[in-house]
């Protein structure tokens, strides 16, 4: 029997991880989310509510899925004072976690990253509480999701575009990451290394590029463009020139590599998760409008925030050392998102 914690468990990556972990019949999964962005589990968990203990909701016939709506920082402060807080407060036997998947964060896409950077900087306090907790209580393993936003932005310009390698982040020679979001992720990576080297915590860091999937929030470009193509938007609006590009990777591949990396890496090293392929927003629109069977006129919205020009990764370290390659092609993954968008219109 194992007990895992998924923070931010009602967000995009968290929801998918909760469902993936639930496939193991021996796993109990506590997931915590303040629902500031996340969606309530009643809408996606697919398991009946079995019991409520105060504000804790236990789902499924075996009650292996346990949801707590709370600000993670409040819970961690309680646990940092008393590791037996769950047992004493709720009467349930959760004292130590096997795996912690720490997905709680203020993320929110370009409009939030550029539009409210000081809100996003709250990620520093969320991560600080988590790292204190893991160093004091030593869970089996911690997964810390950093981000491609941690990479130096001067390596992602129109005139200087390259495939970002893990070694492009070097704590002894720092480049400037992408806004407060990138700074908080970079700080998290540094804390991960300290947690491993000074406290002996098993930590794995990942730098996902642009993860996407069928159930992603419409504030993200892939599902938003899919939905607009399904409605046959014409002219088709794009932020900026649309020539800016990203490395889109399907959530199922993100989860596969995350779990593999946790088995192989314990020293806080960070790895890329992407396809190693740059796709521009204009190309995305072409793919989705192709599925919809029309050719729209493109309308560029040059006053919208676009972030760096090109962000994509070099996957050779992962391929050579972990023997892993993404399985879901852009065409297949985008087709799945399009089919899901069609059902919603
Ligand atoms: N989706 C991607 O492609 C991607 C790429 C790079 C990094 N990441 C990282 O992966 C993690 C998850 O990303 P996501 O796409 O699922 O984001 P998301 O916004 O969908 O999920 C984050 C969840 O955290 C919750 N949350 C925020 N503050 C909280 C708090 N104080 N207490 C409890 N819950 C809180 C939100 O309600 C939300 O459900 C983040 O750390 C993000 O930086 C994701």
Reported as a single tens digit per residue, the pLDDT across 298-342 is 999 999 888 889 999 999 999 999 999 999 999 999 999 999 999
- If one residue of 71, 104, 143, 185 were mutated to test the ligand 1 pocket, choosing by the most ligand atoms within 8 A of its CB, it would be 104
Element (H, E) at 198: helix 179-199
- Using DSSP, state whether 39 is helix, strand or coil: coil
Q: Could you tell me which of 69, 192, 176, 85 has the C-alpha nearest to residue 130? A: 192
The residue whose CA has the least distance to atom 27 of ligand 1 is: 105
The residue whose CA has the least distance to atom 9 of ligand 1 is: 145
Give me the percent of the chain exceeding a pLDDT of 90.
91
Helix, strand and coil content of the chain, in percent to the nearest 5, comes to 40, 20, 35
Query: How high is the pLDDT of residue 306?
Result: 86
Distances (CA, A) of 42 to 46, 58, 120: 7, 11, 27
pLDDT at 133 over 90: yes
pLDDT at 344 over 90: no
Query: How high is the pLDDT of residue 174?
Result: 87
- If one residue of 7, 8, 270 were mutated to test the ligand 1 pocket, choosing by the most ligand atoms within 8 A of its CB, it would be 8
At 298, phi and psi to the nearest 5? -90, 130
Q: Sketch out the chain's domains with CATH numbers.
A: 2-214+248-275+312-327 (3.40.50.720)
CB 222 within 8 A of CB 333: no
Q: List residues near ligand 1 (CB under 6 A).
A: 8, 10-14, 32-38, 71-73, 103-107, 126, 145, 147, 208, 210-211
Residue 146 CA, ligand 1 centroid: distance in Å: 11
Which region among 27-31, 59-63, 105-109, 121-125 has the lowest average model confidence (pLDDT)?
Answer: 105-109
Residue 47 CA, ligand 1 centroid: distance in Å: 23
CB 90 within 8 A of CB 56: yes
Residue 323 CA, ligand 1 centroid: distance in Å: 27
The residue whose CA has the least distance to atom 5 of ligand 1 is: 208
Using a cut of 0.95, tell me whether the model's pTM lies above it. yes
Element (H, E) at 305: none
Rounded-to-integer distance, Cα 53 and Cα 20, Å:
25
């Amino acid at each position: 029997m194992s007990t895992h914690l998924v923070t931010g468990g009602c967000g995009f990556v968290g929801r998918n991880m909760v469902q993936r972990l639930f496939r193991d019949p021996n796993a109990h999964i506590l997931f915590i989310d303040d629902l500031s962005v996340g969606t309530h589990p009643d809408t996606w968990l697919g398991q009946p509510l079995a019991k409520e203990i105060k504000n804790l909701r236990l789902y499924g016939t075996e009650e292996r899925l346990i949801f707590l709506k709370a600000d993670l920082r409040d819970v961690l402060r309680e646990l940092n004072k008393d590791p037996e807080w769950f047992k004493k407060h709720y009467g349930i036997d959760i004292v130590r976690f096997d795996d912690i998947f720490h997905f709680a964060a203020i993320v929110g896409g370009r409009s939030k990253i550029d539009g409210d950077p000081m809100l996003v900087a709250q990620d520093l306090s969320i991560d600080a509480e988590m790292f204190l907790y893991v160093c004091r209580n030593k869970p089996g393993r911690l997964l810390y999701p950093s981000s491609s936003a941690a990479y130096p932005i001067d390596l992602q310009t129109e005139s200087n575009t390259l495939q970002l390698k893990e070694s492009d982040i070097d704590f002894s020679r720092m480049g400037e990451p992408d806004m407060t979001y990138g700074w908080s992720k970079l700080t998290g990576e540094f804390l991960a290394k300290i947690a491993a080297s000074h406290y002996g915590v098993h930590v794995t860091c990942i730098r996902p590029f642009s993860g996407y999937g069928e159930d992603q929030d419409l504030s993200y470009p892939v599902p938003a463009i899919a939905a607009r193509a399904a409605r046959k938007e014409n002219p088709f609006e794009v932020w900026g020139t649309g020539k800016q590009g990203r490395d889109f990777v399907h959530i199922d591949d993100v989860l596969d590599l995350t779990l593999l990396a946790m088995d192989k890496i314990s020293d806080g090293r960070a790895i890329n998760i992407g396809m190693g392929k740059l796709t521009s927003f204009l190309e995305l629109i072409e793919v989705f409008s192709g599925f919809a069977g029309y050719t729209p006129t493109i309308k560029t919205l040059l006053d919208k925030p676009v972030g760096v020009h090109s962000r994509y990764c070099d996957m050779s370290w992962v391929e050579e050392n972990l023997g892993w390659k993404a399985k879901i092609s852009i065409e297949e993954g985008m087709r799945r998102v399009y089919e899901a968008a069609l059902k919603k219109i």
